[in-house]
Amino acid sequence: MPELRVAFLSNFTINGLSEIIKVKSHQESVWIDHYNAPYNQYAQEIIDPASGLYRQNPDLIFLLLDAESFLGEFFSFPYRYSIEQRKEFVTEKIKEIGRLLTILQERTKAKIVINDFLVPAYSSRGIIESKQEWGLTESIYRINEALRDICKNNNRLFTFPLNSFCAHRIPNPLADPKIMYLTDMKISLDGFIGLASEYMSYIYPLTSKNKKCLVLDLDNTLWGGVVGEEGKDGIKLGPDKEGRVFLDFQKSILELFERGVILAINSKNNYEDAMEVIRGHKYMVLREDHFACIKVNWQDKATNLKEIAAELDIGLDSLIFIDDDKTNRALVRELIPEVTVIDLPEDVSLYPSTIKNLKQFNLFHLTEEDLKRGKMYVDQKKRSLLESETTDLNAFIKQLHIKVTIRPADDSTLDRITQLTKKTNQFNLTTKRYKEEEMQELSKSADCRIESIMVEDRFGDYGLTGAAIIKKDLEDKCWHLDTFLLSCRVLGKNVEFALMDHIIKKAKKEGVEKIKGYFIPTKKNKPAENFLGDCGFMISKEDEEKKEYTFDLNKDFTKEILVDVQEWKS
């Protein structure tokens, strides 16, 4: 079970929040070790290098500040100050937050989430508050905008929209006034439950618990009614009052597809009836080419889900399943507990918000490959069809017209390479996981070389799908393959040999005498077990935990390269 150290800093009472997050995380098989800073001691905790905050060495920090406490007298009497004084005061408060965030980054390697400030509904200026230059409302909006600017281009800083959360959450998450005055709780316990659910958005990607694929039922899920009984033109789908909710539901799902979520169908239905709607209904937003896998048959839903995961070559724990039928949901929960099952509400008007409230697809960075992932898996379906029609593997590879570009890592690719080290399991020789900060340090080291590989073929672009991290021992004239990994999407297409050939050629050019590679077995990386031997590496050491291989660079690399290899031109 992954363990995560999480710290909470605040200038008001947040008792209960950390415990709620701990329970929610445990339900996702994540163990939380939490640290709650003493009441209203956030600044002292950040400034003091010996504080409990730094002794915990957190992976994730949540900073919640209440505007009234943070702004002091200015919050209650902003118009005692001149416009210039208000502007100067707010500017200094922004700098104060910036300094604290800088210290946190210098003294920890944590991801830091700072909540923006609640904008009060009341103003002593009444209906002309919106006309006040650097008034209270405008001042808080400016602070919030500054927070977003500070965090925008920083991989470790994130702004959580607490103001928006409190404005739109039903029921209202703010604490009852009596409780607020007695305990200085600004948010109710029910509000903390909702806030904890939002905070899980940061915990999923930090612990690699985020999901890849959304699997959908059809009847009474993507449209209203049963197509086998009512026909294509009888189902509820369109801009009318009964069909609009399903139209909006599909639009929300399409938004997920366009940010890289893989889509699949799992439906008990007549295939021809279902495909007639998907291909021909006037208001169908999600079409056949949006789905990487379509299972429309009379098998049970659990069997279909297993086949979907196998065909997409992803784990069952990467799937989220949505079905209106309680029996199907219970069956999947019972037979495949790895799959996350979402309960659709009885009220269909809440369907779109169900999609918008999914937190499991969140990522800290959206790379080009992430954005294209849904389409990439659809393209893979076309490749699989070609492969099924071709009996010779080498002939199949040649028919794909694969082009690979091998490029050194730079700032534009490090996020994706880091992501690959965290997620790639099957073809990963050492399965070493790296954080963004660690990858940045490696990229700057003269004793390290990081290569990446980009792949495309006649059906589409796979994106950046592989990487190698090489640590140089100049004294011994040896390169060590610290990491060598490849996405399963391009596995078995000769790409892995093209990357190794490139590394061997570069090593020879730099006068290296040998390359050492390592295979550390896991439950999932069996496909990589024989790779080094297939490349001509010889076993030099072996124990239960690791095999060490050596390639003598006096030898030639003899593996045939069937793909078109291109050098990167920046």
Measured distance CA(180)–CA(13) in Å, rounded: 9
Sheet holding 262-268, edge to edge: 293-297, 262-268, 213-216, 319-323, 340-343
Burial profile 536-548: b = 16 or more Cβ within 10 angstroms, e = fewer: bbeeeeeeeeebb
CB proximity list for 323: less than 8 A, separation 6 or greater: 216, 217, 221, 266, 301, 329, 332, 341, 344
Query: Hey, CA dihedral for 234, 237, 238, 242, is it positive or negative?
Result: positive
Rounded-to-integer distance, Cα 71 and Cα 93, Å: 8
Question: What is the Cα–Cα distance from 95 to 101, expressed in whole angstroms?
Answer: 10
- Using CB atoms within 10 Å of the CB of residue 433, give its burial: 0 to 12 exposed, 13 to 18 middle, 19+ buried: middle
Distance, C-alpha 253 to centroid of its chain: 17
Quote the CA–CA distance of 144 and 117 in Å, as a whole number: 6
Closest C-alpha among 245, 439, 211, 440 to residue 324: 245
Per-residue pLDDT at 204: 94
Task: List all residues 6 or more positions away from 268 whose beta carbon is below 8 Å from its beta carbon.
Answer: 297, 298, 299, 301
SS3 (DSSP) at 363: coil
Q: How far is CA 565 from CA 147, 407, 461, 462, 551, in A?
A: 45, 11, 15, 15, 22
**Count of alpha carbons within 13 angstroms of residue 476, beta-carbon side:** 10
Q: How far apart are CA 451 and CA 567, in angstroms?
A: 11
CA dist., res. 94 & res. 92, Å (int) = 5
The vertex-168 CA angle with 326 and 132, nearest 5°, equals 175
CB 492 within 8 A of CB 455: no
Place of tokens 């939380």: 32
Comparing CA positions, the residue from 77, 103, 193, 227 lying closest to residue 156 is: 103
Instruction: Tell me the pTM.
Output: 0.75
Q: What are phi and psi of 177, to 5 degrees?
A: -50, -40
Return the HEC string of 291-328: CCEEEEECCCHHHHHHHHHHHHCCCHHHEEEEECCHHH
Contacts of residue 132, defined as CB under 8 A and 6 or more positions apart, other chains included, come to 79, 125, 138
Q: Dihedral of the CA atoms 75, 81, 82, 83 (nearest 10)?
A: -10
Task: Give the model's pLDDT for residue 294.
Answer: 95
Name the nearest CA neighbour of 406 among 491, 502, 508, 493: 502
CA angle 268, 271, 273 (to 5 degrees): 100
Q: In the prediction, which pLDDT does 208 show?
A: 87
H or E element at residue 87: helix 83-107
CB atoms within 10 A of CB 3: 11
Closest by alpha carbon to 462, among 401, 528, 375? 375
**485 in Cβ contact with 417 (< 8 Å):** no
The reported pLDDT for the residue numbered 320 is 98
pLDDT, tens digit only, all 570 positions of the chain: 679 999 999 999 999 999 999 999 999 999 999 999 999 999 999 999 999 999 999 999 999 999 999 999 999 999 999 999 999 999 999 999 999 999 999 999 999 999 999 999 888 899 999 999 999 999 999 999 999 999 998 989 999 999 999 998 888 899 999 999 999 999 999 999 999 999 999 999 999 899 999 999 999 999 999 998 889 999 999 998 899 999 999 999 999 999 989 999 999 999 999 999 999 999 999 999 999 999 999 999 999 999 999 988 889 999 999 999 999 999 999 999 999 999 999 999 999 999 999 999 998 887 777 777 777 777 777 777 767 677 677 888 888 889 999 999 998 899 999 989 988 888 999 999 998 889 999 999 999 999 999 999 888 888 899 999 999 998 899 999 999 999 887 888 899 999 999 999 999 999 999 999 999 999 889 999 999 999 999 999 988 889 999 999 999 999 989 888 887 776
SS (H, E, C) 509-562: HCCCCEEEEEECCCCCCHHHCCHHHHCCCEEEEECCCCEEEEEECCCCCCCCCC
pLDDT for residue 490: 86
Give how far Cα 121 sits from Cα of 67, 124, 127, 141, Å.
Answer: 13, 10, 11, 13
Exposed/middle/buried for residue 87 (C-beta within 10 Å: 0-12, 13-18, 19+):
middle
Residue 570 is predicted with a pLDDT of 63
Query: What distance in Å separates the CA atoms of residue 187 and residue 451, rounded to the nearest whole number?
Result: 48
The Cα 158–Cα 143 span in angstroms is: 15
